[in-house]
Amino acid sequence: FSANVLLRMPYVVSNLEEVPRTGTDPLPTNPWDPQSARQPQHPHLQPTSLPYHPLHNPNQGHMSPPSTSTSPPRHVAHETPKGPPQCHPALTPKYLASVGVCARPPKVTHIRHIYLMVNPFSGKGKGAMTMEVVVPIFQQAGVVVTVFQTKAAGDMAKQAHTVNLSAYDCLCVLGGDGSIHECLNGMLSRPDRLRIPVAVIPCGTGNSLATDFGAGKLTPQASAQNILHGRTFQVDCANVSCGTVQGIKSINMINWPANYAKKAEKMRWMGPARYNVSAALAGLTGEFKQHVVMDIDGEVIETPVSIIHIQNNRVCGDGMRASPRALLDDGLLDVFWLPVLSRFKLALALQKVQKGTHVTDSIFSFRRFKRMTIRSLGSKPHAVNVDGEVLGTDPLTVQVLPDSWDLII
């Protein structure tokens, strides 16, 4: 790589334009139970009357972002942008519309010092090329950039856990969902509990989190400009304990049983579609037939299942719309499960999940929850897939961590 990319450049003061949030996106109601008026519980949300949105049920009440805010993190600016709405070239209409994935409007973080964490092998080598593009953009804006390149799996988590973060405004992750997962787990396990925003430049084989914000296929130049804008969302993650593996933080999804995910690693050449293909093959072999006991916020359910899928955001895998109305900041996680089905019906059901049309199918069971446990009644434990990695086995405990990290995207 070019040596100049790795140099610290002197800081030059730059007045970055602050772009206010355009419009107010109401909070979608519970999609799983059309007859219920139950809303996701969040202490900062107040009921109001807002316009119809295609993701909302017009027959139910809506929620809006709060009129007042709590004290923001140390690195997040207190002031609210003023003046008429303006649009930065990188903020496409699709991106602006994506604010609906969060119930609250973003804050603004003033970006002056970036710690850039690069997985050069992400996206089949796109990480290294993307770094060469974005670093000069940051430097030309007067931003000091320090670059760290990973050499092996786990390097990003170790570095986020140990590096002195007090000198930086954000950790910028250049990679896919797996890189974000590593960075967040490293930072949230720090002994000093220091937390700064995590910025994302998507260039992995799976960019599910960025896809939620309409940014999954942005060019590196546009992604860099978005980060300079500093739009910062305070979002949730999940705390996962599975077997002997404790305290894993999940940004995306958890599913069980996930023996198929091990086989998917042998199909990496297929990209994120490998998980869908491997799951379909597992269904043909009868792997998805388990008897479980679930405890969902005190509701105990014992039932045979094919698959249990928990989601924090909306999209996972190869564009699979597993939870098309999920919110990243509602203090709740979404789960669905399927009963034991024939191979043909299971294949049809998984096709609906891919398109997001399963939310209207009565064969699926849905809940939104704060804490959930899963225990198999079979003779042996089964693998758990957390954000695309097999990290342990049941018994499984998943608990939401509200407002646990700050995302710039």
Give residue-wise pLDDT tens across range 28-52.
Answer: 333 333 333 333 333 333 333 233 2
pLDDT tens digit sequence for 217-242: 899 999 999 999 999 999 999 999 99
pLDDT tens figures, 233-272: 999 999 999 999 999 999 999 999 887 766 666 666 666 5
Beta-ladder partners of 231: 108
Torsion of CA 79, 82, 86, 91, to 10 degrees: 20
Average pLDDT value for residue range 199-226: 91
SS3 104: coil
Q: Is the pLDDT at 329 greater than 70, yes or no?
A: yes
Q: 336 or 204: which carries more pLDDT confidence?
A: 336
144-191 pLDDT per residue, tens: 999 999 999 899 999 999 999 999 999 999 998 999 999 999 999 999
292-317: per-residue pLDDT in tens?
999 999 999 999 999 999 999 999 98
In terms of pLDDT, which residue wins out, 205 or 79? 205
308 pairs with which residues across the strands? 256, 337
Nearest of 319, 382, 384, 325 to residue 351 by alpha carbon: 319
3-state secondary structure 121-180: CHHHHHHHHHHHHHHHHHHHCCCEEEEEECCCCCHHHHHHHHCCHHHCCEEEEEECHHHH
- State the amino acid at position 160 in one-letter form: A
| Least trusted range by pLDDT, from 75-84, 123-132, 278-287, 355-364 | 75-84
**Predicted pLDDT of residue 286:** 58
In which band, very low, low, confident or very high, does the pLDDT at 389 lie, cut at 50, 70 and 90? confident
DSSP letter, residue 102: S
* Alpha carbon separation from 182 to 65, 158, 289 (Å, rounded): 30, 8, 31
Q: What pairs with residue 255 in β-bridges? A: 309, 385
Mean pLDDT of the chain: 77
Percent of the chain residues past pLDDT 90, beyond the cut: 55
> What is the average pLDDT across 313-333?
92
**CB-based burial label for 71 (10 Å; 0-12, 13-18, 19+):** exposed
Residue with more model confidence, 27 or 125: 125
54 by Cβ neighbours in 10 Å (0-12 / 13-18 / 19+) ranks as exposed
Q: What is the pLDDT of residues 108-120, one digit of tens each?
A: 999 999 999 998 8
Contacts of 152 (CB under 8 A, 6+ apart): none
Instruction: Name the residue with higher pLDDT: 43 or 398.
Output: 398
pLDDT at 40: 37
Residue 132 has pLDDT above 90, yes or no: yes
Report, as an integer, the average pLDDT of 388-407. Answer: 94
Residue 64: what pLDDT? 35
Preceding peptide of 402 cis, ω within 30°: no
Highest mean pLDDT: which range of 16-30, 68-82, 111-125:
111-125
Q: Where are the alpha helices (DSSP H) in 213-342?
A: 220-229, 259-264, 273-284
**Residue among 341, 339, 337 at smallest CA distance from 286:** 341
Tell me the average pLDDT across 15-30. 35
* pLDDT at 319 (0 to 100): 85
The β-bridge relationship of strands 62-64 and 383-386 is unpaired
Whole-number pLDDT of residue 346: 86
Instruction: Sort strands 333-338 and 365-369 into parallel, antiparallel or unpaired.
Output: antiparallel
Q: Per residue in 80-101, pLDDT tens?
A: 333 333 333 344 445 444 457 9
Question: Residue 130 to residues 51, 88, 91, 118, 124: CA-CA distances in angstroms?
Answer: 40, 21, 19, 9, 12
**Mean of pLDDT values over 195-212:** 92
Starting from the edge strand earliest in sequence, which strands make up the sheet with 383-386, in order?
365-369, 333-338, 307-311, 253-256, 383-386, 389-393
Identify whether the C-beta of residue 383 lies closer than 8 Å to the C-beta of residue 261: yes
Residue 127: both structure tokens together: 């990480």
